A and B are shown apart, each in its own frame.
Chain A
Amino acid sequence: MENIKGETKISSYQVILLIIIYRVIIAFTYMPIVNTPPGNQDIWITLLLSIPYTIILCWPILYLSSKFKDLTIIEYSEKILGKVIGKITGIYYTLFLLMFSIILVATLVEILDTTMFPETPTFVSTIIMLITCAYISYKGLEAIGRGAEVFVPFILVVILLFVVLSYKNYDFTVFLPILSDSTFKELNIGALDRSIKFSDIIILAMITPHLERKEELNKIFMKALIYSVFIVIILVIATQAVLGIEYAKHTSFPFFTFSRLVNLLDFIQRIDVLSVIALIIGNIGKIAGYLYFTTVAFTQTINKKTNRPYIIPITILVLIVTVSIKDRRSILSVGEELEKIILITSLITIFILPLVTTIVYFFRRKNL
């Protein structure tokens, strides 16, 4: 039995890849950024602007993680906040990760059912996805990290391929005039919105004790942040340049629609299947990661040694919740509500709770 503490090591490169893909896959799947304010040609500026905001918002979590290098966010929260409140925050983090796993599975199932398998029942596609994910997370962090080295470059190559192959469809005049249709306030709201939803930082805070070089934590964070923002900018610019600002907002899966339009010399066409494959792989990677960290968070909250026994029950829970949501309504058609839930829970997870923990830490520093 693998012990979840300390023994498995994961390299900085693997962590960077993981966090990049966890972020990029959202833009790759349903690109919520095209609908956030200002919602016009200046979205790429919003993304750039979100970098400093993200750094500010993530500072408490990074600070604590670099102070407690051998503990995950669950463990040091409990240590700082005390047993009872610590347990409550632990449960909150677990639920947050669980919620994200469910949202991810539901979104993936939705895009699969819409684009490729309209007649497959929801529970079948969900089960197929979840069995794979549960298997990966059963194999542990090392498998996830090593897997990232294989599948992340593949996805990035697919993105690059589509961006290059669409060169004939681009109309970059849609990005003009720059910064004149959006107000300063809108840009900042959009940037803040993006940086709050950078909830994948929690994964970094869960991975910290397994890092090969723990002193590189801040470097990993910066690299992952900047690379992911730039890849998302490339995705957004390519999609908007091909579909136009408004049509991109109308599509549920902008990058998928974008890839459907690739037609080079009447020969390279209908390769959108490739983008769906990349999408499945990327999402499975992300779901497997979230599933794994959900179980780890749960185990650490209840002070158990190994997370393996909880993978299957939690997977079944995810399955039941996903199917019961998905069979009632489409999750992306209620996108606004979904975005609101993600916004609030993410704000609490990545900023408010760590900030409170940091403040308490400053007061109790001597006793710890």
Chain B
Amino acid sequence: MTKKILFLNIIIIMSIFLTACWNAMELNALGITLVIGLDFEDDKVLLTAEIIEPVPAKEKASMKRGSIVTYVQGTGDNVFDAFRDITLKFDRKLYIAHNKVIIFGEEFARRASVTDLDLLVRDREQRETAYLLIAKGSKAYEVMGVASGLEEIPGNYILKLIENFKYNPKVIKVNLAEYLRYFYDRGQQPVLGVIEKREKLKINKIEKSNGGKEYELTVIGGAAFKREKLVGFLDGIETKAFNIIMGRAKSGIITFPTPNITDTNSGPTKPIESDIKSEGISNIRISTVDIINMKTKKDVEIIDGNIVLKVKVKLRGSLEEITGDIDISTKDNMLKVEEACSKEIKKRIEDTILKVQREFESDIFGFGSAFHRKYPKEWHKVKDNWNDIFSKSDFQVEIETNIIRTGLINTPIGKIKGR
């Protein structure tokens, strides 16, 4: 018994002294990155990293926003070489396990191939959940370091912008694993997010009269690829249409022109003639529907030897904003509003597909996968030049809108309902 207790004690004491000797990573020896940017500079890879400076909470309160991070750059023949170049100039080794965003400069995105990103997937440190963005029209390091939101760390600011996808589907939210999945898929080409730097209008001129310009970032739009080649950019509205086609737009808003209705007596009672009625012609004739539920079905059909791409969208929304003179308390008017909404979505989707077919010639929507599922035998004949076939195919778009909620008021505020 005593022998056993002695033995147990020895083991416990040993375990205290023999804790992790290898791979111990102390916080004060790490440079934790949140964002890395990749560019080409004189045919070499230029890597820019945003590193958090660990600051005690006490000091943090008195610091300026954006100053708790520091930026380092390294150049090298490939990505890892660029990483290790940083150790020559910066006192800590980069630790990219917490890296959340990877930004590619536009030049890098156009010239690099997917194999240049091998390190980010092969190495265990970088996680596959990092979001990928392309700095439209600029270098990656040019968009880094802007913190125009309330987040103290610029990296988190970018991350939150991407995650605002749930409020506004004009963003592409794609991470490394998803990108690779689409890259390997013959029936679908990858689309990545976009980040742009824009000059900010000066709001409080007295306080910020230092002459410098203020910038903010926006993640509106998407970058379309054909395999690994960047073929073009989608703007905000096209990105929204893209997200609708892909069935990713689970929330967000749809704006559409308010239908023109010459209003007859619609209510149960006659409106009073009154000068309170809004006579001013509004500049805004756009109404809004908030998406409650949106379901998209992509389909491909062969009709008389021609391939027809089909998109069916079922939207359930709540009417959030209606500008213009329309009484939605009648069924007819409500149907007209629904119709106007459907028409607008249809137009946006058609424009987007047409643009992608004509300019990009790349099936970013995944119609190829739908074709593969439906016509597996034919797919093997066409898969090698599917993108060409896609760009010449006809398409049909069907939208069904149901407005199931109309908010707290039932008549536009510019109208008098009468007795």
Partner of A260, one of B22, B127, B374, B376: B127
Is B129 in contact with chain A by the CB < 8 A criterion? yes
| B25 nearest CB neighbor, chain A only | A119
> In the complex where A117-B23, A120-B23, A244-B185 touch, is A173 in contact with B373 (Cβ < 8 A)?
yes
Tell whether A243 is near chain B: CB-to-CB under 8 Å.
Answer: yes
A13 within 8 A of B: no
Q: Contacts A117-B23, A250-B184, A260-B129 known; list 14 others, CB within 8 Å.
A: A117-B22, A120-B23, A180-B376, A180-B377, A243-B177, A244-B181, A246-B184, A246-B185, A257-B177, A261-B128, A261-B129, A261-B177, A263-B129, A270-B127
In contact, A114 and B181 (Cβ under 8 angstroms): no
CB distance from A196 to the nearest CB of B (A): 29
When distances are taken between beta carbons in the complex, the residues of chain B under 8 Å from A124 are 22
B174 CB → nearest A CB, Å: 13
Asked whether, in the complex, the Cβ of A257 is within 8 Å of the Cβ of B128, the reply is: yes
From residue A280, how far is it (CB to closest CB) to chain B in Å? 15
Cβ contacts under 8 Å, B23 to chain A? 116-120
- CB proximity of A57 to chain B, nearest CB, Å: 31
Verify A177–B373 contact, CB threshold 8 A.
yes
User: Assuming A119-B23, A247-B184, is B124 touching A176 (CB within 8 A)?
Assistant: no
| Interchain nearest-CB distance for A115 vs B (Å) | 6
Say whether B369 faces chain A, with CB atoms less than 8 Å apart: yes
| Contact residues on A (Cβ < 8 Å of other chain), bracket | 20 to 34
The yes or no answer to B302 lying at the interface (CB within 8 A) is no
Interface residues on B, range: 10 to 19
Encode contact with A along B339-372: 1 for CB under 8 Å, 0 otherwise: 0000000000000000000000000000001001
Residues on A with beta carbons closer than 8 Å to the beta carbon of B180: 244, 247, 250
B184 and chain A: residue at smallest CB distance: A246
List 19 A–B pairs whose Cβ atoms lie within 8 Å, in order of A's numbering.
Answer: A115-B124, A117-B22, A177-B374, A180-B376, A181-B376, A243-B177, A243-B181, A244-B184, A246-B181, A246-B184, A246-B185, A247-B177, A247-B180, A247-B181, A257-B128, A257-B177, A260-B128, A261-B177, A270-B127
User: Does A269 belong to the interface (CB within 8 Å)?
Assistant: yes
Residues 370-396 of chain B: 1 if any A CB is under 8 Å from the residue's CB, otherwise 0?
A: 001110110000000000000000000
Contact check: which of A118, A173, A177, A269 meets B376 at CB < 8 Å? A177
Residue of A117, A245, A261 ringed by the most chain B CB atoms within 10 A? A261
Q: How far is the CA of A245 from the CA of B182 in the complex (A)?
A: 11
Give B1-58 interface residues, CB cut-off 8 Å to A: 22-23
Q: How far, in whole Å, are A261 and B377 apart by their CA atoms in the complex? A: 34
Question: Which A residue sits closest to B98, measured CB to CB?
Answer: A270
A260–B377 alpha-carbon span in the complex (Å): 36
Q: Which residues of B contact A260 (CB under 8 A)?
A: 127-129
Residues of chain A with a CB closer than 8 A to B372's CB: 177
Contacts of A117 in B (CB 8 A): 22-23
Q: Complex: how many Å from CA A119 to CA B376? A: 48
CB of A119 within 8 A of CB of B177, answer no
Assembled-state Cα–Cα distance A116/B20 (Å): 12
Interface residues of B in 100-132 (CB under 8 A from A): 124, 127-129
A119: chain B residues at CB < 8 Å are: 22-23
A261 CA / B175 CA spacing, docked (Å): 10
Complex Cα spacing A317 to B181, Å:
43
**Are A269 and B124 touching (Cβ within 8 A)?**
no
Chain B residues with CB under 8 A of A269? 129
- 1/0 contact string of B114-157 vs chain A (CB within 8 Å): 00000000001001110000000000000000000000000000
Chain B, range 162-196, C-beta contacts under 8 Å to A: 177, 180-181, 184-185
Measured between alpha carbons, how far is A32 from B172 in the docked complex, in Å? 34
User: In the complex, A274→B41 CA distance in Å?
Assistant: 41
Give the Cβ gap from B5 to chain A, nearest Cβ, in Å: 19
